[in-house]
Amino acid sequence: LFYPPPLLMSSVPPDVEYPPPKWNFRNIADHQIAATIRRLSPYKVTEPGTPPNSVFTHCADVLIPHLGPLFRATFNLEFYPEAWAETESVVIQKPGKPGYTIPGAWRPVTLSHGIARLLNSCITDELVSCIERHHILPPNHFGG
């Protein structure tokens, strides 16, 4: 069995006291969406049938007034569309690598929903900013 069996009981005591939060949640602002769009790689592929990054980079001024309320609604309504959570993984051959029989000649690529990817990038940017501002991670922490 690859995954361990689920726990029958939680290992967290029922009366556990958590420390107070380091910061309060702030909903995504339009200026954050604009900053994230400016950093997008315009030709990165998204899931078929969803907007590619180039749509966001070329039409940001038209889209941000609509994306802002949509992104804020995901938090206010506590609703994340199911289609946004779906991804598609494909395996492609690395350039310059020989043959189909060598495992290292292949690379997995995950295609995700274009709008969801933009929202997730905005969330990541905000989390990183708060973590750095409040010194949550040690200064010598790198990677995941």
- Residue 34 is part of which domain span? 30-133
- For 87-91, which contacts have Cβ atoms below 8 Å and span 24 or more sequence positions? 87/47, 87/111, 87/112, 87/113, 88/47, 88/48, 88/112
**22 in a domain, yes or no?**
no
**14 in a domain, yes or no?**
no
How do residues 97-131 score in pLDDT, each as one tens digit?
877 788 888 888 999 999 999 999 999 999 999 99
**4 in a domain, yes or no?**
no
**97 in a domain, yes or no?**
yes
Looking at the 3D structure of the chain, how many domains does it have? 1
**66 in a domain, yes or no?**
yes
**13 in a domain, yes or no?**
no
Residue 11, both tokens? 């290992």
How do residues 29-78 score in pLDDT, each as one tens digit?
999 999 999 999 998 888 889 999 999 999 999 999 999 999 999 999 99
**20 in a domain, yes or no?**
no
Q: Taking a C-beta distance cutoff of 8 angstroms, is the pair 137, 43 a contact?
A: no
* pTM for the whole structure: 0.80
**18 in a domain, yes or no?**
no
Nearest to 26 by CA among 98, 115, 127: 127
